[in-house]
Amino acid sequence: MTKSEQLFQEAARVIPGGVNSPVRAFQSIGGTPRFIKCARGACLYDEDDNCYIDFVGSWGPMILGHSHKAVLERVTEACRQGLSFGAATAIEVEMAKLVCGMVPSIEMVRMVNSGTEAVMSAVRAARGFTGREKIIKFSGCYHGHSDGLLVQAGSGVMTAGVPDSLGVPAGCVKDTLSAEYNHLDSVEGHFKRCGEEIAAVIVEPVAANMGVVPPLPGFLEGLRRLCDTYGALLIFDEVITGFRLAAGGAQEYYGVMPDLTALGKIIGGGMPVGAYGGRRDIMELVAPLGGVYQAGTLSGNPVAMAAGMAQLTLLKEHPQYYQELNRKGDWFYGQMRDLTEREDLPCQVNHVGSLGCLYFTKQKVVDYRSAKTSDTKAFAAYCNYMLGQGVYLAPSQFEAMFLSLAHTEVMLKDVLQKALTFFLQKV
């Protein structure tokens, strides 16, 4: 038995499913989760001393690669000053200034501890500001696990085969309207029926929890226009896209400005951090300034801020990083697309910059419905084969692949070669 198998058996006795987040279980591809011991650059090392080229990157945060020296140094230094004070600190001011300076639509920002919290709080602020209760979300978009947003919520929920979640009272989702990603008419339909009651539209500007589905031209602009017409707020959930597609996230990349933005993942540099922010007039409603209550014992934690600051500062000071990352993504996913076309495989490769997904379907993937046509058994075989070859992909068809600055061309060529070998044998 491998160490991972042994640990998984022990884990399963004391942790539900043996994991602290369902996406880490290998349920949808079969097999045992690898227990990771350490990570450097683009590589993960498991307890059995296997090495993997990592395409998960802790689900996004590790954009500079694992164990980046400058980030580790800053964190170590912060630790020496004390782990938490529950009081205001200078680094929080620095961090807020940095985020406001990087993300174009953010004038004020509040730190929280996760993406889930960030989105939940942004939605509360939107409801508080507009005095309206309904929100529109898109099928296949994931916005964390808060009650009101666990409707048609993509990835983790999707592969578990459970449409939503037990334990979410019907009353909590009665104000959550579902629309179809990339279909403006489905959004307009809701606005026409009850536009006066809609506080906000929340969207992943690039949907990255049903694989990767880029917005069709005009989609984000159309959402902006509909929100303006009906007096609703536009919330971008940039927990994945923030600081990934550009220093200013998807809003900079696509040039469409939301009223509120939720951030997570990269902003913490690997530590548990989320943030929400946006227009000053909205954010001034947040407690203690205004009546929208939101709080957090460990929010703005100095060690977490140190990791985030170190990573964001590097990203801000090196605009060429984004050119490099996006070029690498265009090349890698382009090669993968060429490969699937050359071999005439029933596959689709979607990508935006460093985010990408290989779907096992003949249909173009533009929304939740088309994403679901993917052959998840074929994906499982592919994923397991790659794992055996030392390539760590997210163990689900409906998760994105994340490239980091630490992935080299040599590694990526090797990965393409392995994928080709799989396809020549199997499909």
Ligand X SMILES: *Cc1c(COP(=O)(O)O)cnc(C)c1O
List interacting residues with ligand X (CB under 6 A). 114-116, 119, 142-144, 204, 209, 237, 239-240, 264, 274
Q: How far is the CB of 164 from ligand X (least distance, A)?
A: 16
Contacts of 353 (CB under 8 A, 6+ apart): 244, 245, 253, 322, 325, 326, 329, 330
Active site residue 97: no
Q: What is the DSSP string of 66-79?
A: BT-HHHHHHHHHHH
Task: Tell how strand 36-40 and strand 43-46 pair up.
Answer: antiparallel
Three-state DSSP class for residue 12: helix
Q: Which two tokens stand for residue 381?
A: 């075989």
Q: Which of 52, 134, 181, 237 is catalytic?
A: 237
Q: How far is the CB of 414 from ligand X (least distance, A)?
A: 28
- Cβ burial, residue 276 (10 Å; 0-12/13-18/19+): buried
270/274 with CB nearer ligand X: 274
Q: What are the b/e assignments for 232-253, b being 16+ CB within 10 Å?
A: bbbbbbbbbbbbbbbbbbbbbb
Q: Which of 142, 276, 322, 392 is catalytic?
A: 142
206/387 with CB nearer ligand X: 206
CA–CA dist 137, 173 (Å, integer) = 11
- Cβ burial, residue 169 (10 Å; 0-12/13-18/19+): exposed
CA–CA dist 208, 78 (Å, integer) = 33
CA distances from 359 to 255, 256, 397, 419, 421 (A): 28, 28, 7, 13, 17
What distance lies between CA 351 and its chain's CA centroid?
14
Q: How far is the CB of 273 from ligand X (least distance, A)?
A: 8
209/396 with CB nearer ligand X: 209
Active site residue 3: no
Q: Which of 265, 276, 359, 392 is catalytic?
A: 265
> Which residue, among 208, 226, 231, 309, has the nearest Cα to 268 in the 3D structure?
309
CA distances from 190 to 195, 223, 260, 302 (A): 7, 12, 21, 43
Q: How far is the CB of 144 from ligand X (least distance, A)?
A: 4
Q: How far is the CB of 239 from ligand X (least distance, A)?
A: 4
Active site residue 265: yes
200/239 with CB nearer ligand X: 239
What Rg do the C-alpha atoms of the chain give, in angstroms?
A: 21
> Which residue, among 30, 27, 53, has the nearest Cα to 381 in the 3D structure?
30
Could you tell me the end-to-end alpha-carbon distance of the chain, in angstroms, rounded to an integer?
31
347/400 with CB nearer ligand X: 400
Q: Which residue is nearest to ligand X (CB)?
A: 115
138/191 with CB nearer ligand X: 138
50/155 with CB nearer ligand X: 155
Q: How far is the CB of 367 from ligand X (least distance, A)?
A: 16
Q: How far is the CB of 113 from ligand X (least distance, A)?
A: 8
Question: Any idea which residues carry the catalytic annotation?
Answer: 142, 237, 265
